[in-house]
């Protein structure tokens, strides 16, 4: 997700704080997708899974592919808005991070795990 949005020529000219804020927003989005993936796994394996998607855009049982596509498009739009509006970039990215942090925190009961299989 990060790679698709950093190809713009102007990104290299962004202030380091703005770059950090944008990278943080992508990281938070990745955590949200990992939480969603875990929720989908729960829904697929446990008939009494207590988790459901709260975003009305996706419905209670979303498909991971459609969520990733929407998030990629959303991140591209955020990048373009930030890139085209340098006077609002820092405040806008702080706002995006605040929203994404609240989403990740509201999903904290789902958790995220990382594992490697060889």
Reduce the DSSP state of residue 29 to 3 states and report it. Answer: helix
**pLDDT at residue 117, rounded to an integer:** 64
Q: What percent of the chain has pLDDT over 70?
A: 86
Q: Where are the domains of the chain?
A: 16-106
Model pLDDT for residues 26-35, shown as the tens digit of each residue: 999 999 999 9
Question: What integer pLDDT is reported at residue 107 of this predicted model?
Answer: 83
- Among residues 5, 45, 59, 63, which one has the least CA distance to residue 29? 5
Q: What is the mean pLDDT of residues 38-65?
A: 88
Q: What is the pLDDT of residues 70-116, one digit of tens each?
A: 999 999 999 999 999 999 999 999 999 999 999 888 887 777 655 55
- Residue with the bigger pLDDT between 17 and 8: it is 17
* 51 in Cβ contact with 43 (< 8 Å): yes
């Amino acid at each position: 997700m990060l790679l698709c949005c950093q190809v713009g020529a102007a990104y290299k000219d962004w202030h380091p704080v703005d770059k950090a804020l944008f990278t943080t927003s992508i990281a938070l989005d990745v955590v949200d997708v990992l939480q969603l993936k875990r929720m989908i796994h729960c829904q697929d394996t446990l008939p009494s899974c207590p988790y459901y998607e709260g975003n009305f855009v996706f419905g209670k049982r979303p498909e991971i592919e459609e969520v990733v596509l929407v998030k990629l498009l959303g991140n591209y739009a955020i990048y373009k808005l930030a890139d085209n509006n340098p006077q609002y970039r820092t405040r806008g990215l702080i706002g995006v991070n605040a929203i994404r942090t609240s989403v990740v925190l509201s999903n904290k009961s789902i958790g995220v795990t990382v594992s490697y299989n060889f």
